[in-house]
Amino acid sequence: MKRLKITTILFLGLLSLSLQSIAQSAASRANYDESKVPEFEIPDLLTSFEGEAIHTAREWETMRRPELLDFFTNQMYGKIPGDLAITKWEVIEEGTGAINGKAKRKQVDIHVENNGKKLSFNILLYLPNNVEKAPMFLGYNFYGNHIVYNDPNIRISNAWARNNNTYGITEHRLTEESRGAQTENWQVEKMIDAGYGLATIYYGEVDPDRDDFSDGIHPLFYNEGQDKPLDNEWGAISAWAWGLTKAMDYLEQDPGVDASKVVTFGHSRLGKTSLWAGVVDERFAGAISNNSGCGGAALSKRKFGETLEIINNAFPHWFCDNFNIYNDNEEALPVDQHALIALMAPRPVYIASAEEDQWADPKGEFLSGFYATPVYKLFGKSGIDDEQMPGIHHPIHNSVAYHIRSGKHAVTAYDWEQYIKWADIHVKNQ
Ligand code: GTR
């Protein structure tokens, strides 16, 4: 019996080692050479899967948008198995005089339950004092709400977190050490000064970011005997996007919020999430994806930097299982990520890249915006007309917006300055 156990452990250990090395070797083969980008045809957004031409915004909305949305839902991010309304929300703390006396702070617990199981997550809100109903940025953070600003009143989440030495996270627990540690990345004060509110959620409260479907929101929808989603059902990105839609349900009730002006925001994997949430829930006034890369704004068919095979091996829980069909088989995709950008139309969408973030393929992120533009034109909106990428720090602030800044994979003050200027034009003053 004991020997069997040891053999099983050894076998599982070897299996996970070899899976890891397959993933690592795929990552080490990533292409960063523009001349090695394969030739590919970009799927035409204005021709339906059946070959019918789309001429008007109405045809887009009634014929083309639904079939594209269906593809992304069932083949990529995964379908949400059912509707689930908020059972109850509770303001667990609020205070005035936050952010140097310029804002109100609110911490709200959102509770849902289904099939006898429960989940709660917390939204931290900062609302500018001098605005009656604030336009909002809504986005997840990676390491707890208390990381976004050095405010001793922000509660520390108990949810599972990835260990991180910089933030003093060991044994998967968040601590005081990370309070205010990402103030620079969040720029809350700039938002408040510009008349915006911020709503943020720790993503691990909605679904811990690990390949384990026994925790987070997924189990609330399982049928008897089920322990993971079906092949076309939600991975973690879709689950996080669901959380943003529930946050929106709450924001619609908050008297300090202008719910018609809520823009989703996210960085990296959470930038993928921000786009998907914006697409599935048309109540959002816009979406911002910061360095979202593969499975976000970047075109998959370019196979530049991170590829579908790499991402699906490294993060098997992010997309639905059906999406594995396209591992090293991008040619077979009847869509690419420009279609995801176009699904936001006519609402404004911002794609941002960083020069040194080649893993996320800045050019592929830019081209998605360029190829999505004909759909925006159907609605009389402007996008990206020039196929040449703009220079570093030359933002394009149209309905489809884009910038590339110097530096690494991160969110910076420069990024937020651009988002605010653009939101002033396309969201706040609309
Ligand atoms: C990387 C992943 C990217 C990106 C990033 C992040 O490891 O390959 O797709 O999402 O993580 O979220 O920081």
Q: What kind and span of H or E run contains 11? A: helix 2-28
pLDDT for residue 29: 86
Number of separate helices (H) and strands (E) present in the chain: 13, 10
Alpha helices in 320-423 (DSSP H): 337-342, 362-378, 413-423
What pLDDT sits at residue 27? 83
Ligand 1 close to Cβ of residue 281 (< 6 A): no
- Burial label for 74, CB within 10 Å (0-12, 13-18, 19+), is middle
Q: How far is the CA of 212 from the centre of ligand 1 (A)?
A: 18
Pocket-testing residue among 76, 306, 317, 337, ligand 1, by greatest number of atoms within 8 A of Cβ: 306
What per-residue confidence (pLDDT) applies to 4?
A: 47
CA distance 57 to 309: 35
Q: Which residues of the chain have pLDDT under 50?
A: 1-2, 4, 15
Distance 308 CA to ligand 1 centre (A): 12
The pLDDT value recorded for residue 398 is 98
Q: What gap in Å lies between CA 297 and CA 151, rounded to an integer?
A: 33
Q: Is 229 in the pocket of ligand 1 (CB under 6 A)?
A: no
CB of residue 248 inside a 6 A radius of ligand 1: no
Say which DSSP state 322 is in.
Answer: G
Q: For position 214, what pLDDT does the model report?
A: 96
Predicted confidence at residue 23, as pLDDT, reads: 54
**What separation, in Å, do the N-terminal and C-terminal C-alpha atoms of the chain show?**
70
Q: Of all residues in the chain, what percent carry a pLDDT higher than 70?
A: 94
Ligand 1 centroid – CA 157 distance (Å) = 23
CA distances from 44 to 53, 374, 398, 399 (A): 10, 10, 22, 20
pTM of the model: 0.95
| Packing angle of the helix pair 236-251, 269-280 (nearest 10 deg) | 60
Instruction: Take atom 8 of ligand 1 and give the residue whose Cα is closest.
Output: 311
pLDDT at 170: 93
Cβ atoms of 340 and 279 within 8 Å: the answer is: yes
State the pairing for strand pair 396-397/400-405.
Answer: antiparallel
Edge-to-edge strand ranges of the sheet holding 117-128? 88-97, 103-114, 117-128, 197-202, 134-141, 257-267, 286-290, 349-354, 400-405, 396-397
pLDDT of residue 84: 97
Q: Is 246 in the pocket of ligand 1 (CB under 6 A)?
A: no
d(CA 348, CA 341): 10
Which own/partner pairs from 397-400 qualify as long-range (CB within 8 Å, at least 24 positions apart)? 397/421, 397/422, 397/425, 397/426, 399/345, 399/346, 399/347, 399/348, 399/349, 399/426, 400/341, 400/348, 400/349, 400/351, 400/369, 400/372, 400/373, 400/376
Residue 293 Cβ contacting ligand 1 at under 6 Å: yes
111 is known as an active-site residue: no
Bridge partners (DSSP) listed for residue 88:
111
Does residue 268 have an active-site annotation?
A: yes
Catalytic one among 178, 238, 268, 274?
268
User: Which residue's structure tokens are 């402007």?
Assistant: 382
Q: How far is CA 200 from CA 40, 119, 134, 143, 352, in A?
A: 39, 17, 15, 11, 20
Residue with token string 């994979």: 409
Instruction: State if residue 311 touches ligand 1 by the CB under 6 angstroms criterion.
Output: yes
For the CA atoms of 378, 384, 388, 389, the dihedral, rounded to the nearest 10 degrees, stands at: -150
Please name the residue that has the structure tokens 């998605």. 368
